[in-house]
């Protein structure tokens, strides 16, 4: 079943050529074959190869735990395969805020360079979650430079400015809440309330570093703040963002699989947000999402960024974490 889902994800790239004779090898029903796993990893990493990898020199900072460090809730949650669903959910959630949506609509290059925008967002999360402190600080500085020119008026005549702490809080808290919601629904292990609260408290540190506020400090407070935010409303920017997120111009081999992850993200959005952005969840979305994330986890394992951060700090992998992806490193010259 997992191989069937992965073929749906990556299409013919997962169909190994068969010999012409009647002695074609059979794919085992158990673990994913090595050749198939390599193709899934290559296809996934190819989506995030449109920029300079932010941890390429992270081993130059031996022992540096970064902002969170080994044993943190952040490394466990952001390092899980469910983060793919969380990222889509966060973008949908952010689109429900008209001023945030206007800033993206009027200043982002996501229509012209969708994979570049995807890579920049992913690299920001990678660097701030798993980087050494110099890498965290560099990622925050890059984000501030990019956001400097982002200001204007939304369709309802309200000013937006990407340096506004409240708008920064909507973006930051949307990411935090979405990664947590995805992990709770699709994560490799259960997420007790204590782990959820630890993760939110850790993310408050990052929120303060970027100058965002307000920053709810517990999982329940964060969920309430996001779902009941008074600024949420339909907007032209939201319509454009949701249309784009439904069918982004991705490589043909991953479009169907992305669609499964999109439905998985919709399944865990609050009803009020779904009403605002004009999207409806289907009854089977949650179960399809669970199956899709399990299949992707079988191929990818846990995050290679987490693996690399553990190596930098000299920490052992936590029980049950399986790392299957190659590391992206530059050689260190003494």
DSSP letters for 189-225:
S---HHHHHHHHHHHHHHHHHTT------SHHHHHHH
pLDDT tens digit string along 219-269?
999 999 999 999 999 999 999 999 999 988 887 778 888 899 999 999 999
pLDDT-above-70 percentage for the chain = 80
pLDDT of residue 325: 84
At 114, is the pLDDT very low, low, confident or very high (cuts 50, 70, 90)?
A: low
Exposure class string for 95-105: b at 16+ Cβ within 10 A, else e: bbbbbbbbbbb
In this predicted structure, which of 38-42, 76-80, 164-168, 171-175 has the lowest mean pLDDT? 38-42
For the cut 80, the answer to whether the pLDDT of residue 51 exceeds it is no
pLDDT at 109: 67
- Tell me if 312 sits within 8 A of 135, measured CB to CB: no
More confident residue, 181 or 33: 181
For residues 185-195, give the mean pLDDT. 97
Q: Where are the domains of the chain?
A: 2-15+31-313
């Amino acid at each position: 079943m997992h191989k069937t889902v992965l073929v749906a994800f990556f299409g013919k790239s997962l169909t190994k050529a068969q010999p012409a004779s009647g002695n074609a090898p059979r794919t085992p029903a158990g673990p994913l074959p090595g050749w198939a796993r390599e193709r899934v990893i290559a296809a996934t990493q190819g989506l995030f190869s449109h920029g300079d990898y932010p941890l390429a020199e992270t081993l130059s900072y031996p022992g540096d735990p970064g902002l969170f460090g080994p044993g943190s809730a952040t490394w466990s949650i952001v390092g899980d395969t469910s983060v793919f669903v969380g990222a889509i959910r966060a973008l949908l959630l952010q689109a429900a805020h008209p001023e945030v949506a206007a800033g993206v609509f009027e200043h982002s290059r996501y229509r012209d360079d969708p994979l570049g925008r995807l890579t920049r967002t992913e690299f920001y999360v990678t660097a701030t979650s798993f980087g050494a402190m110099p890498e965290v600080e560099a990622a925050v500085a890059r984000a501030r430079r990019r956001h400097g020119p982002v200001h204007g008026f939304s369709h309802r005549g309200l000013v937006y400015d990407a340096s506004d702490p409240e708008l920064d809080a909507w973006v930051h808290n949307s990411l935090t809440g979405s990664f947590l919601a995805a992990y709770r629904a699709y994560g490799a292990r259960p997420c007790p309330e204590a782990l959820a609260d630890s993760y939110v408290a850790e993310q408050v540190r990052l929120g303060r570093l970027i100058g965002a506020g307000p920053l709810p400090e517990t999982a329940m407070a964060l969920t309430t703040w996001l779902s009941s935010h008074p600024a949420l409303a339909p907007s032209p920017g939201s319509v454009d963002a949701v249309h784009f997120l439904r069918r982004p111009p991705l490589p043909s081999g991953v479009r169907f699989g992305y669609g499964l992850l999109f439905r998985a993200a919709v399944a865990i959005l609050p009803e009020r947000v779904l009403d605002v952005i004009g999207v409806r969840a289907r009854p089977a979305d949650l179960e399809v999402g669970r199956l899709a994330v399990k299949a992707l986890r079988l191929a990818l394992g846990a995050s290679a960024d987490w693996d690399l951060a553990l190596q930098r700090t000299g920490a052992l992998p936590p029980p049950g974490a399986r790392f299957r992806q190659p590391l992206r490193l530059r050689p260190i010259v003494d």
